[in-house]
Amino acid sequence: MSTPPTLPLRNPVLERPLKVTLSFTASCNLDCRHCYADCSRVPRAEEMPAADWMRLIDRLEEDGVIGLYIEGGEPLHRADFLDVLRHAAGRFHVQLRSNATLVTPEMARILHEDCRIATLLVDLHGPDAAVHDHATRAPGSFERTLGGIRAARAAGIETQMLVIMTRLNVDHLQGCVDLAARLGLETIGILRPYPIGRMRRAWDEASLPLEVMMRALDALRLPPGMRLMQSWHPRDGNCCWQTAAVDPRGHSIGCAYLREYVDLGDLREVAFLDTWNAPLHRLLRSGEVEASCGDCAASQGSHGGCRATAYAFHGRWTAPDPFDLPLNQGVDLRVLPEHALHPRPQSAPPSGS
C-alpha cells in the first residue's frame, strides 16, 4: 500500500519535450462504440492537411522532439497518411497506434521498410470476434485485426497489443493475454478507460468500479517473457512532464486524453514551444499536486497520477488521480461529474492557481 512520498512534489523539468502524440485524424474504418475520437467515416474538413502536418513535423524536429506517437482515429484510414509518415521516416522514433485492419502484408512492408516505424500498437477489444466485433460494430474486424498483427510481425515490426478495460471485456482480459501470447507478442497494455468521446456518452455501460479493475489486473497470469503495461497503482504516472500532443486540427492539447479539456492553440498560428511553455501546460507538467502516491512516485518518477482522469473527476488540474487506489478518496468511477459530461476546453489555468 502507499507510503508517504519521499521525493519532492515536483516532476522532472524538460525545457523542450522529447516526444509528442500526433492524433492524426478523427476518422476510422470501424465504428467503435467507445471511440475516444468520436470518429466519422470521412475525415472532417477541419482536419489539418498533410502539407501542414509535414511542416509541423519539421518544426518538432527543430524543437528537439525525437519520438512521435501517432494515433487516430485510424491513421491508415486517411489517404494522405503515408505521405506524412514517410516524411518522418528515419528522423523520429515512431510508434503507430492502429486497429491494424488495413495492415496487409504489403502495407506492413511499407511501414517497416519505407516508413521505418519502431512499433505498431494494435487496439483489441476482446479475445474473440464476439467480444471484439461487438465493440467495433464492424463484423469481421477481429479477423482483420489479427491478420494485420500477423502481417506486421512477419514484416519484422515490433508489435504490441493494447486493450482498453471496460465492462464489456473485463471478464476476457486473460483471454487477451493468452491471445497475445499465441500471436507471439511480448507486450500487452491493459489501459484504463477515459471518459471522452463516445466512451463518455456510453460511460454507464462501459465503466467499472476501481476495485473491480484492480481485481481484474491482479488476476492476470502472464506467460513467461510477456510484459504487462498498466497505469493503475503502483504504476500511475503523471506522464505530462515529458510529452505534448496535437489533435487532428493541429491544436496543441497537452495530452491526447486531455483533448476535451485543454486547447493551447492552433499550431499553424502559434509556435509549438510557446504552447509548451503556456501556464496551463507548465502546471500540468509540474507535479504540483494536492496528493501524491509514494509507490507510484517511486516507480514513475512523477506525482499525482494521470492529469486527464484527475481533471475529469475533480475538475481541478492539481487534483489526485482517482484511478490510483490510495488517491481515490471514495470517488465512484462509474459516476461522471457534471463538468465531465459537458467539457469545455481550457487554454489557461484559473487565475490564482
Q: How far is the CB of 20 from other proteins (least distance, A)?
A: 13
Contact between 112 and other proteins per CB under 8 A? yes
Q: Is 13 in the site for other proteins (CB under 8 A)?
A: yes
Q: Cβ neighbours of residue 176 under 8 Å, at least 6 residues apart?
A: 124, 126, 127, 161, 163, 169, 188, 190
Binding to other proteins by CB under 8 A, coded x per residue (else -) over 264-283, reads --------------------
Report the nearest approach of other proteins to the CB of residue 191 (Å): 21
Q: Is 119 helix (H, G, I), strand (E, B) or coil?
A: strand
| DSSP symbol at 222 | P
* Count of residues touching other proteins (by CB under 8 A): 21
Q: Taking contact as CB under 8 A, which single stretch among the options 150-158, 255-263, 309-317, 324-332 is the one that binds other proteins?
A: 150-158
- Report residue 312 as a C-alpha cell: 475529469
Residue 160 CB, nearest approach to other proteins (Å): 12
Specify the long-range contacts of residues 136-140, CB closer than 8 Å, at least 24 apart.
Answer: 136/30, 136/31, 136/32, 136/33, 136/99, 137/30, 137/31, 137/32, 137/33, 138/29, 138/30, 138/31, 138/101
Instruction: Assess 18 for contact with other proteins (CB under 8 A).
Output: yes
In the chain, the amino acid numbered 276 is W
Residue closer to other proteins by CB (options 93, 235) is 93
How far is Cα 41 from Cα 27, in angstroms, rounded to an integer? 5
CB of 175 to other proteins, least distance (A): 28
Our CB check for other proteins shows the closer of 112 and 134 to be 112
Question: Which of the stretches 59-67, 137-145, 253-261, 292-300 binds other proteins when contact is defined by CB under 8 A?
Answer: 59-67
Q: Report the b/e string of 279-292 with b at 16+ CB within 10 A.
A: ebbebbbbbbbebb
- Contact call for residue 66 and other proteins (CB under 8 A): yes
Q: Find the shortest distance in angstroms from Cβ 303 to other proteins.
A: 16
Q: Interface with other proteins includes 187 (CB under 8 A)?
A: no
Residues in the chain: 353
Rule CB under 8 A: is residue 109 a binding residue for other proteins?
no
Among residues 66 and 130, whose Cβ is nearest to other proteins? Answer: 66
Which CB atom, from 85 or from 308, has the smaller least distance to other proteins? 85
Among 35, 50, 107, 157, binds other proteins (CB under 8 A): 157
Best CA proximity match to 117, nearest among 69, 163, 151 = 69
Closest CA to 111 of 144, 65, 49, 153: 153
- Is position 15 an interface residue for other proteins (rule: CB under 8 A)? yes
Q: Which three cell numbers stand for residue 32?
A: 467503435
**Helices within the chain (DSSP H only):** 50-62, 81-88, 105-109, 129-136, 141-155, 173-182, 197-201, 203-206, 210-219, 272-276, 279-286, 294-300, 307-314, 338-341
By rule CB under 8 A, what string of x and - marks binding of each residue 72-91 to other proteins?
------------------xx
Pick between residue 103 and residue 176 the one whose CB is nearest to other proteins.
103
Which residues contact other proteins (rule: CB under 8 A)? 12-15, 18, 64, 66-67, 90-94, 112, 116-119, 156-158
